A and B are shown apart, each in its own frame.
Chain A
Amino acid sequence: MRPLKKRSCTWRWGVLKKFGKELGVFVLLVVLCTVVDVLNHRFLGIQNLQNMGRLVGMYGIFGIGAAMVIITSGIDLTVGSMLALLGILLSIAMMEKHWPSPLAALAILVGGGALGAIHGFLITKVKLQPFIVTLCGLLLYRGLSQFVAKDETKGFGDSTALGWLYTASSGDILGVPVPFLILIVVAIVFGVVLHYSVFGRYLYAVGRNEEAARYSGIDTKKVIAGAYVIAGFLTALAAILIAVDTGSISPSSHGNSYELYGIAAAVLGGCSLKGGEGSIIGVLLGTALLQVLQNLVTLLGIPSSLNFAVLGAVILIGVTIDQLVHQRSGSKR
């Protein structure tokens, strides 16, 4: 009887260890939702949920990209500027060059992936630090956005005339916002990639110990560059949805500091900036948590100027608790 008990105990510990962070975020999310709803019943209203779902969808897509890069112990700071640049290019392609929308969208996706490939090349082959490469990208793409748009706000005219693109960004299916559905698909695809594919295994391996991965015959440069390509591609996907949904893209402010939402969601969801840790489900929960927090600021009548302060405080508390739990469970063993 005794060994059996011990075994089930270690099994539970194993699960808790594996999904501990995700579980913690999930509990926090549920508690927060309950509290907010008690204080303001509009929180769980259809309209509010749809709104949040749409935002979670868009933010989650580039959040997954951010997580892929963070798992390799890298970072991608270009997201916000890429959202602006790619959004403006989409507008120009469709409204000024009159490209058919599928072609324009495809070009944007390929362009996003290509930018990611350039980041990956500079990081792995030229051996620049990810922070520096993407910081330069952040400045460069923002400047290019302003230049290409001649500092004018770009849009899509009557956005309902965009057809499928409008549906994908602002539409609902059976009441569920389409971006949220797209996120589900993206999450399933990249969940499989990260957790069940050889590439995913390599990503974790490289993030945890690049040297040992190299000694195991893994082409670590290709793997790392691949993560940046994925991040670029997913950012482009989010860029299309956000651009069309907002309908107006101001080159100087569109997407400003969105890279930080991606990074924050990944970190809240269990990614370590040291690399080698994190899960897709964690990123989804992290993204949702961030949106709920923003929503809470509005719904609870907290001055919206405190928006960022609330985000910062909650993330800080979250990672602190996680660290303390980690230290305690570590010292026990």
Chain B
Amino acid sequence: MLEARALTKRYPGVTALSEVDFSVGPGEVVALIGENGAGKSTLIKLFGGLVQPDGGEILWNGKPIQITSVGVATQLGIGVIHQELSNLTNLDVAGNVFLGREPRKFGFLVDRKLMIQHTEEYLRPLGLDLSPVTPLSELSIARQQMVEIAKALSLEAKILIMDEPTSSLTSGETAHLLKLIDDLRSRGVGIVYVSHRLDEVKAIADRAIAFRDGKNAGALSKEELTTENMVRLMVGRDIQRQSSRGFVATESRLVVNGLRTKRFPNREISFTVGKGEIVGIAGLVGAGRSEVAQAIFGVDERVGGTVELDGVALPSGSPKAAIERGLYLAPEDRRKEGLITAMTIRENVTLPGMARYSTIGLIRSKKESEISVSMRERLRIKAPSIESQVSGLSGGNQQKVVLAKWLSLNPKVLVFDEPTRGIDIGARAEIYDLMRSLAAEGVAILMISSDMEEVLGLSDRVVVMHEGSLSGVLPRDAATEEAIMHLAVGSA
């Protein structure tokens, strides 16, 4: 019914999808599996009309079509339940289901009665014991998701695409959702089920299609759906591994003990990073890795646990204290958290170390310029001058400015959250070199990455997280893509 043929989507610097094929028919549940960044989300966006393909075609009932907008997708009967729910929590259930197409009286008044009546009709077959006038804010995430599904059905969706629908559900809620999916299947709805949870895929899918690096990596029939097979398809990539540095840390620099974060307040995580060691944190999106980084750096309060740097505890919730002690974070969202893009390179580089470039509170602009110029040369930041605005730089150069901020302060511990996301290959290699040379100088490096190649290529040890907990620590030689993947999906 819905089919993709040789579909290609390119973004500046990366090919997100390269000639992939995919199909789903009525009354069928097709699982789409793959690692972070394999291209699953891109395919969903293409089907949902959010982005346009650069090559290949999408077929609907065998005929090529252009899904030029979300409206077109809806009209065709493609419903997408996004991972991040797009509900309006200030409206009630009926208001959400009929958002933007409210039945009207006299052309401008909302016909609440009709709206509520219709909403009930959509909720009933879902087995949802729910009043249409309940404010959405009072519902659990699971129920909000059901409302999204009801909305899609009210739009007469023939194909329902679900992106990680169970990522924030409890096991009971998950069971309910899976039952509902089963129900929808028997009613002839085609379902694309995107999930990292291979157990669910095994339980519900009729077949699975795996993506890897934006390409088709294989397909599995119902009988072939085993964790082994799925992991094999998702990984199994040729990774050029650098020969091991054979580095074993002798001295712990960063000790994280019993750390609990706001997102997973009941899960504890403990690990260490040695002097001169690079520790990678692998895991799937949503495993709580960034939250760990933020709690260590102090931009988030810790719910519990301790963080020690060279044997001295760091206070919770104070990035200032962390910076004074030499622990820095290069955050995932560079433009929002790492940089003030409306400021110049100079102003960004010196921002955290202002005290060093000032006397009695007044900025010594000469010193400020000197350090900025030297950092720009050291990191080879490509910009006309240190007075260039950061907003005009490429992703790689922006990341270098973030690093310049911290390198100018002589780091002891550097935490990287997705150090090379959205960065071209050339700048990527430079950043890797830099990380290695920093480690060689004794800096402890903690690197969160969803890029397997990066994790395997750089880490001396790999910490794997699964849903807020540490699911394993792998020394370099044991860290293979499959071993990491097994720990990341929680199947080991």
A residues near B, CB below 8 A?
10, 14, 192, 196-199, 201-202, 204-205, 208-209, 211-219, 276
Contact = CB atoms under 8 A, between A and B. Distances in A.
Interface in B337-374: 337-343, 347, 351-352, 354-355, 358, 361-363, 365
Nearest to B320: A217
Contact of B354 (A198, A208, A212, A215): A198
A10 B387 CA distance: 12
B331 A208 contact: no
B340 A205 contact: yes
Contact of B319 (A196, A202, A217): A217
B16 interface: no
Q: Which of B299, B322, B363 has the most CB of A within 10 A?
A: B363
Contact of A215 (B299, B341, B342, B365): B299
Contacts of B361: 197-199
Contact of A218 (B329, B351, B405): B351
Contacts of A204: 343, 347
Nearest to A202: B354
A212 B339 contact: yes
A197 B337 CA distance: 23
A14 B363 CA distance: 21
A121 B324 CA distance: 25
Nearest to A276: B342
Q: Which of B331, B342, B365 has the most CB of A within 10 A?
A: B342
Contacts of B319: 214-217
A212 B355 contact: no
A196 B363 contact: yes
Contacts of B339: 209, 212
Nearest to B334: A212
A271 to B, nearest CB: 14
Given A192-B362, A201-B351, A212-B336, A217 B322 contact: yes
Contacts of B7: none
A198 B363 contact: yes
Contact of A209 (B342, B352, B384): B342
Given A209-B341, A209-B342, A198 B387 contact: no
| List of 7 A-B pairs having minimum Cβ-Cβ separation, nearest first | A217-B323, A216-B352, A217-B320, A209-B340, A216-B351, A198-B354, A208-B342
Contact of B358 (A198, A209, A212): A198
A192 to B, nearest CB: 7
Contact of A212 (B320, B324, B337, B384): B337
Given A209-B336, A213-B340, A217-B323, A201 B363 contact: yes
A213 B351 contact: yes
Contacts of A218: 320, 351-352
A109 B365 CA distance: 32
Interface string B309-338: 000000000011011100001010000111
A327 B414 CA distance: 40
A21 B230 CA distance: 60
B213 to A, nearest CB: 31
B218 to A, nearest CB: 41
Contacts of B342: 208-209, 276
Contacts of B347: 201, 204-205
Given A204-B343, A208-B343, A216 B362 contact: no
A197 B365 CA distance: 10
B323 A212 contact: no
B381 to A, nearest CB: 18
Contacts of A197: 358, 361-363
Given A199-B361, A211-B337, A215-B299, A14 B387 contact: yes
A219 B331 CA distance: 18
A219 B317 CA distance: 11
B325 to A, nearest CB: 11
A16 to B, nearest CB: 14
Given A196-B363, A209-B342, A217-B352, 19 more contacts: A14-B387, A196-B365, A197-B358, A198-B355, A198-B358, A201-B347, A201-B351, A208-B340, A209-B339, A209-B340, A209-B341, A213-B351, A215-B297, A215-B299, A215-B319, A215-B331, A215-B338, A216-B319, A217-B320
A10 B347 CA distance: 19
B337 A215 contact: yes
B299 A214 contact: yes
Interface string B286-298: 0000000000010
Nearest to B328: A217
A204 B343 CA distance: 9
B332 to A, nearest CB: 11
A202 B336 CA distance: 16
Nearest to A213: B340
Contacts of A214: 299, 319
Contact of A196 (B297, B338, B362): B362
A205 to B, nearest CB: 6
